[in-house]
Amino acid sequence: MQVKELKENLFLVSFDPIFLGEVLNYNIVLLLNDKNEAMLIDTGFKRHFNQLKKYLDDKNITIIKVIITHFHRDHIGGLSKLNDVVKYGSKKADITLAPNFENKSFDIYKPTICIDDVLDIQFGNFDIHLSHNPGHSIDGLLVEIDNKFLVVGDDMIYTKDQEPMLPYCSNRDFEMHLKSIKRLKNEVIDKTVIPMHGQPESNIDYLQNDLDNRYKYLQWKVNNKDKQNKEFEIESGIRFVDYSRIKKQNKKEL
């Protein structure tokens, strides 16, 4: 686990890829106030959360709030250990959660404060703007911190070495993801983007070029639903690291 200070009281907590030779790291954003309290953005898998919890316990810091960018397994693993905290998440969280739990109860994972459109909150000295951004997942949230940092969930997804990974539409809705990418083209201007996989990035040329490539891929996918992804690479010359290989292994977790 690496803890990197991005700004006073704002940290990126990063975990190496779980599987030998794999490329996907996992991030949790940690915000502190001046009362030894913490707010998290996402929780990683349970094993990630456990490491962070121990780190915070050793410093006598209590987690009181959590924002979830979307309710995929690799982002919510810690919620089962966070009974009494405030949980911000999309009103659409159930759509993502339900298929993973079949007949079992998933109440512990549900948001206690549901975001329908937008919500402004404060934590410590931070002004935080939450907005619903269905794209990678139907329950996507964008988290803007002090108008300077933009937590993008998995709408922009990278390897630990900051290679762009293939856009992934968990709801098989490529047009929905196209809309989120179009929106991000404006949102990323003058911001440091924090992806939940990859590294923080503020180089606007890199970000805009990456978003353009994502847009091209998704547009191609809308028109070529049954084609293999590698055909996009051949046709366009744009290369992404393919997610599906890694996803199979992640399924074993949680």
Kindly list the residues in this chain that would bind Zn ion in the complex (CB under 5 A).
74, 154
- At 162, list the tokens: 């900051």
Distance of closest approach, residue 201 Cβ to Zn ion, in angstroms: 16
Q: Which is nearer to Zn ion, 126 or 164 (CB)?
A: 164
Distance of closest approach, residue 250 Cβ to Zn ion, in angstroms: 8
Q: How far is Cα 123 from Cα 108, in angstroms, rounded to an integer? A: 23
Distance of closest approach, residue 249 Cβ to Zn ion, in angstroms: 13
Distance of closest approach, residue 125 Cβ to Zn ion, in angstroms: 28
Distance of closest approach, residue 60 Cβ to Zn ion, in angstroms: 30
- DSSP H or E run through 119: strand 118-123
Q: Which is nearer to Zn ion, 126 or 210 (CB)?
A: 210
Distance of closest approach, residue 26 Cβ to Zn ion, in angstroms: 7
Q: Which is nearer to Zn ion, 155 or 187 (CB)?
A: 155
Give strand pairing partners of 107: none
DSSP 167: P
Q: Which is nearer to Zn ion, 154 or 201 (CB)?
A: 154
Q: Which is nearer to Zn ion, 32 or 142 (CB)?
A: 142
Q: Which is nearer to Zn ion, 14 or 126 (CB)?
A: 14
